[in-house]
Homo-oligomer: A and B are copies of this chain.
């Protein structure tokens, strides 16, 4: 599968296809579940870009102690959540 910088080579790539949106829907029962989906969608893009789980763990050890990265990760979740909240019409009954 392609990621943001490079295109997958269909002849040599053996990477399993990653599901980017669990359950293939933006709809959730509650705002809380929508927020968890936002975190998950942000995480899966990072997984697509860096599929090596060991490297992601090393990266996390660094960024968990860096305020700027914590804030930037929060910004991405906020943007994903804006889309999910609109898709659910803000969970109005």
Contact = CB atoms under 8 A, between A and B. Distances in A.
Contact of A5 (B5, B48, B63): B63
Contacts of A57: 6
Contacts of A71: 4, 46, 63, 69, 72-73, 76
A59 interface: yes
Interface of A: 1-7, 19-21, 24-26, 30-32, 35-36, 39-43, 45-46, 48-50, 53, 55-60, 62-83, 85-87, 90-92
Given A71-B72, A86-B90, 16 more contacts: A3-B39, A4-B39, A5-B43, A5-B73, A24-B32, A39-B48, A46-B74, A49-B64, A50-B65, A59-B67, A60-B67, A69-B71, A75-B75, A79-B79, A80-B81, A82-B83
